[in-house]
Amino acid sequence: MTDAAFTPERLASPTGADLCVYTREADGAARGIVHINHGLAERAARYARFANYLASRGYHVIAHDHRGHGLTTAPDGAPRRFADTDGWTKVMGDVKAVEEEAKRRWPGLPLVVFGHSMGSVVAVNHALREPDSLAGLAAWNGNMALGGLKSVMRFVLWCEALAGGPFTPSTTIDKLTFKAWNKRFPEGRTDADWLSSDPAEVDAYVADELCGWPSSVSLWRDFLDGVAFAEDDGNLEKLPKDLPVHLIGGSLDPATEGGKTVQHLGARMERLGMTHVTLEVLEGYRHETVNEAGRDAAMAGFADWLDSVCPAKT
């Protein structure tokens, strides 16, 4: 496996955003394309190791910083929020623009959309909107089973917006999520121990000034719109019944209730007639599977699944 550059490029999105896009070409003949969508309060550059591994297995990789994250900019937005208005719709427009760029750059290859955490909600939403464009869907470590909790969160966000405006950081939701999740782990070294049992990976996240920030009220509101869309069985049943799906959760991940919300999504898909759902809850894993101590096995398992979805050309 080579360690080729995972360097940023710029891509103008039809939504008006100037996207920071990272690519990694496959080593040798390519079997397919993987489009990575990162999580909340992080950025695409953190997936370089994952991209290099997938490239070694024959996959082109493309990833981008979502609006409000990393090095992406937009005239109708700012750091820590998607957009002034219609944020989730514009996020999805950016995802489609990146997919179209990937297919322009590497024509004729099957494309799998991958998402971690918030990115898994992005990936599922994209699959619901563009089901015929995909060879597969991978949704890791996501919570699309909030149910009535969404209404509670919206009320909290309404109160915070009333006090400080929609673009102020949501300190309450931050305390109820990231901060509360971290208290479940005894280390007490950092505010991000809940992400991984690998101290080096946690320290790298904490040291990255573009990661770990409290999201704005508007970003949380927009994100809940995406969760609600994915939680609607009327939307989910529109996915092709034979679409290959890869779901992963961690047994120690507080963001997914120890993988239970991932299992819930898989059960919904199977109940709606989907026949190619692969689901695994990894014992002892926390939130960031690709940065966990056992990441090599998880990445290899995912690449094996990709090989079944994207057969080598003869």
CATH of the domain at 18: 3.40.50.1820
Nearest residue to 19 via CA among 10, 27, 30: 10
- 174: in domain: no
Q: Per the domain annotation, does 78 fall within a domain?
A: yes
Q: How far is CA 146 from CA 1, 16, 174, 278, in A?
A: 40, 31, 16, 22
Q: What is the pTM of this model?
A: 0.96
For residues 40 and 89, give the distance between their C-alpha atoms in angstroms, rounded to a whole number. 16
pLDDT at position 258 = 98
3-state secondary structure the chain: CCCCCCCEEEEECCCCCEEEEEEECCCCCCCEEEEEECCCCCCHHHHHHHHHHHHHCCEEEEEECCCCCCCCECCCCECCECCCCCHHHHHHHHHHHHHHHHHHHCCCCCEEEEEECHHHHHHHHHHHHCHHHCCEEEEECCCCCCCCHHHHHHHHHHHHHHHHCCCCECHHHHHHHHHHHHCCCCCCCCCCHHHCCCHHHHHHHHHCCCCCCCCEHHHHHHHHHHHHHHHCHHHHCCCCCCCCEEEEEECCCHHHCCCHHHHHHHHHHHHCCCCCEEEEEECCCCCCHHHCCCHHHHHHHHHHHHHHHCCCCC
Residue 215 lies in a domain: no
d(CA 17, CA 72): 7
Q: Domain span at residue 93?
A: 8-145+225-309
Domain for residue 191, yes or no? no
Residues 6+ apart with CB under 8 A from 3: 52
Blockwise average pLDDT, block size 10, the chain, 314 residues: 73 98 96 98 98 98 98 96 97 98 98 98 98 96 97 98 97 97 92 97 98 97 98 97 98 98 98 98 98 97 98 79
Is residue 65 domain-resident?
Answer: yes
What is the reported pLDDT for 5?
78
Distance of alpha carbon 292 from alpha carbon 298, whole angstroms: 9
Give the pLDDT confidence score for residue 314 in this predicted structure: 63
Task: Tally the domains of the chain.
Answer: 1
Q: Is residue 103 part of a domain?
A: yes
Residue 166 forms part of a structural domain: no
Tell whether 188 is covered by a domain.
no
Residue 155, Cβ density class (10 Å: 0-12 exposed, 13-18 middle, ≥19 buried): exposed
